[in-house]
């Protein structure tokens, strides 16, 4: 439960992001927080996330007592091999301009948050628009809409069976292989995007989705080995933690 109530204000965008899988909504205080929450909702390896999860009391360098409330606490699934050893992630979402402008005020807060997280075997990370506002966000915003609808196996079965035998394949070539009828293609297309959204058909979400985007059957071992190395980021802990929070790496156990 949030320790601080998020109120509407005239300086930023506030609202709720609905999770259609769990029937709960997450409050946000800025459009940047909203975008971060979209990443978490799309990531099926996330077990849960809590907004404004706790308040940390600390003493600043002048000896004054201060308080700091991070934006979110993210927990990962333990029943998935990829994420079973990932630690809970305490996160702050900030525009880069705010970091530069208010660094003197923010630095002791972040130092306190890192210490608090370390004591609990958690991680703490600051996420900015540089990591959030990419083609990946554009793609998952589009794909999240297709998760709202029930799966129609009558439509998905031929898509999966056909794409398994096509190399290379794109949405356009897959639909053309299945039918030359424009109406039938229009019927199949939402089912195809739903398969992508649920991780059953693979794409490179770092590039803008189009009808010419390469696609493949996700369960292919060769493709899975090609995709998942990005989940094992080793270029510094902050980069690794942001990668875990911001990217969904589907695999057979999800």
The number of beta carbons lying within 10 Å of the beta carbon of residue 56 is 16
d(CA 202, CA 197): 9
- For the segment 20-47, the average pLDDT, to the nearest whole number, is 79
Q: How far apart, in whole angstroms, are the C-alpha atoms of residue 15 and residue 218?
A: 35
Q: Tell whether 252 is covered by a domain.
A: no
Quick one: 211 and 172 in the same domain?
Answer: yes
In a shared domain, residues 205 and 169: yes
For residue 26, the cross-strand partners are: 17
Answer whether residue 206 is part of any domain: yes
pLDDT band per the 50, 70, 90 thresholds, residue 124: very high
Exposure of 77 in the CB half-sphere (CA atoms within 13 A): 16
Note whether 67 and 117 are same-domain residues.
yes
At residue 14 the predicted structure's pLDDT band, cuts being 50, 70 and 90, is low
- 232 within domain boundaries: no
CATH number of residue 88's parent domain:
3.40.1350.10
- Asked if the bond preceding 168 is cis, omega within 30° of 0, the reply is yes
Query: Is 242 among the domain residues?
Result: no
Give the DSSP per-residue string, 120-177: TT-EEEEE-HHHHSSHHHHHHHHHHGGGGS---HHHHHHHHHHHHT-SSB-HHHHHHH
Whole-number pLDDT of residue 21: 53
Question: Do 64 and 49 meet the contact criterion of CB atoms below 8 Å apart?
Answer: no
Report yes or no on 167 lying in a domain. Answer: yes
Q: What is the pLDDT of residue 61?
A: 85
Is the pLDDT score of 11 beyond 60? Answer: no
Q: Among 16-25, 62-71, 92-101, 119-128, which stretch is predicted with the lowest mean pLDDT?
A: 16-25
User: 200: domain CATH number?
Assistant: 1.10.10
Last residue of a domain, one of 133, 162, 189: 133
Centre a 10 Å sphere on the Cβ of residue 147 and count the other Cβ atoms it contains. 17
| Residues of the domain holding 176 | 137-218
pTM of the model: 0.81
Closest CA to 230 of 200, 253, 210, 250: 250
> Within this chain, do residues 127 and 142 fall inside the same structural domain, yes or no?
no
Confidence band of 246 (pLDDT split at 50, 70, 90) = confident
């Amino acid at each position: 439960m949030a320790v601080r109530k998020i109120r509407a204000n005239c300086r930023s965008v506030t609202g709720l992001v609905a999770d259609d899988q769990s029937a709960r909504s997450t409050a946000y205080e800025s459009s940047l927080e909203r975008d971060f929450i979209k990443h978490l909702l799309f990531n099926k390896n996330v077990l849960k996330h809590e907004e404004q999860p706790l308040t940390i009391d600390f003493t600043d360098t002048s000896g004054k007592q201060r308080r700091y409330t991070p934006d979110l606490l993210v927990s990962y699934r333990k029943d998935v091999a990829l994420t079973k050893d990932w630690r809970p992630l305490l996160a702050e979402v900030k525009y880069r301009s705010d970091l530069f402008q208010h660094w003197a005020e923010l630095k002791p807060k972040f130092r306190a948050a890192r210490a608090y997280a370390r004591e609990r075997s958690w991680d703490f990370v600051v996420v900015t628009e540089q990591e959030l506002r990419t083609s990946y966000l554009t793609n998952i915003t589009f794909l999240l809409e297709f998760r709202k609808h029930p799966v129609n196996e009558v439509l998905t079965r031929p898509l999966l069976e056909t794409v398994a035998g096509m190399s290379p394949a794109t949405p356009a070539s897959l639909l053309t292989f299945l039918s030359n009828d424009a109406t039938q293609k229009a019927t199949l297309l939402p089912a195809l995007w739903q398969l992508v959204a649920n991780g059953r058909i693979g794409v490179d979400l770092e590039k803008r989705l189009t009808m010419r985007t390469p696609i493949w059957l996700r369960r292919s071992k060769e493709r899975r080995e090609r995709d998942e190395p990005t989940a094992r980021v080793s270029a510094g802990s902050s980069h690794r933690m942001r990668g875990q929070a911001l990217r969904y790496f589907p695999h057979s156990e999800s």
